[in-house]
Chains A and B, each alone.
Chain A
Amino acid sequence: MSDEALLAGVALGDDDAVLKFVRRYQRRLFGLALGIVGDAGCAEDVAQEAFLRILRHASVYDVRRGPVSSWALTITRNLAIDALRLRRSVPTAPGDVVFANLTSRGTGPADIIESADPAAPVWSALARLPLDQRRCVVLAAIYGHTAVEISIMESIPLGTAKSRLRLGMARLRDTLVRESS
């Protein structure tokens, strides 16, 4: 069953659809929250709150704004960043294998996913960014770090962190637009 159909079921109060939706998304929402807040207890709080909001607002999801996954992940990401601002003092580089893959030299990430994955073009565009820009984009977009935090983590001036982020985002966007047309 498609994500959209599941959400429609959730909106109509179908408990079976709720359970299926939670099972389909819990690893992704929890994983995203964990990557940002870095603590399993806090990540569970964030992921649960995100699920409750998604389930409660299933009827306002607008299919024309993009996939359900992006909507659900963006809600989770925003909540995680909120939670993080209240607790993170010293920024540290993520220790998970995805970060290592996303930011290693070569095309690493593109090798480990199937081309049928809807995120495949994003992985491959990311793999072609210069390593320094790629690290900044990943730290900001996936792990919720600010430019100030990135400048500390990468031991670079703030202006450099901001410009790497801006250049990396612009190049990624241009690559994806070019390849989808």
Chain B
Amino acid sequence: MNASLGRECAGVRDDLSEFALGILAGRDRSRVLDHVATCPSCRGELESLAALADSLVELAPSAEAPVGFESRLLERYHSQHRHRQRPKVRLLALTGAALLLVASGFALGGLSSRRPDSPSSAAPLSANLTSQGRNVGQFWVSSETPAWIYMSLDDANWSGTAWCRVTLRGGRILDVGAFSVNHGYGAWAARLDVARTALASAQVTDGSGRVLASVSLST
């Protein structure tokens, strides 16, 4: 351990691997999140450990799925999709550029919000995540560009995979990604490709789109 680390950093570093692997308990997770929101050094450490966690999961054993797995899955998939009426597009008809655009998910062109942050906005912005007027967690946005967002849910009374969606000023919506919520506890971080001044609000939803918590970032 680096002897030059402050006591708070040293305490957080002990838990950072478990945090990156998604196995840290809820209360400790909040402590780590609070710290990395303000400490670039620990945030960098967390980023590298999270990338390692993603590589390690590639080593998991493969196994033959049970007979009928594929047909059961496709039946569920198509029954959910029947209501959607997506346009059917032949893959071959796509150009390489269109493929790249779709594959990269959110290409963020034409943002007009590259205003420099005002001097007073160097600290992370923090706001409550609420559900029907009740505080159910915390949401942070870092001051750098591109901005990091961090969120911690601690009273959502729900378990499963939660999805984060961000609305930019001007109405553009970004689906940012997913994280686990376990008995109401869950925490997650992601980097956006926009400045924090571009953010208007954020929502955390379950897989069906039901809103679990939301936050307004209008200042």
Report A's interface with B, CB cutoff 8 A: 4-5, 7-9, 11-19, 22-23, 26-28, 30-32, 34-35, 40, 43-44, 47-48, 51-53, 55-57, 59-64, 66, 69-71, 73-75, 77-79, 81-82, 85-86, 96-99, 102, 109, 118-119, 122-123, 126, 137-138, 140-142, 144-147, 162-163, 165-166, 169-170, 172-173, 176-177
Contacts and interface: CB of A to CB of B under 8 A. Distances in A.
A48 B76 contact: yes
Given A14-B89, A98-B59, A142-B57, A78 B178 contact: yes
Contacts of A4: 99, 103
A30 B102 CA distance: 27
Nearest to B78: A15
Interface of B: 13-18, 20-25, 48-49, 51-66, 69-70, 72-74, 76-78, 80-81, 84, 86-91, 94, 99-100, 102-106, 159-161, 163, 175-183, 207
Contact of B105 (A55, A61, A146): A61
B195 to A, nearest CB: 18
Contacts of B90: 14
Given A5-B103, A53-B161, A162 B55 contact: no
B216 to A, nearest CB: 22
A102 B99 CA distance: 37
B69 A26 contact: yes
B58 A27 contact: no
A52 B103 contact: no
Given A13-B87, A30-B65, A142 B51 contact: no
Interface of A is mostly: helix
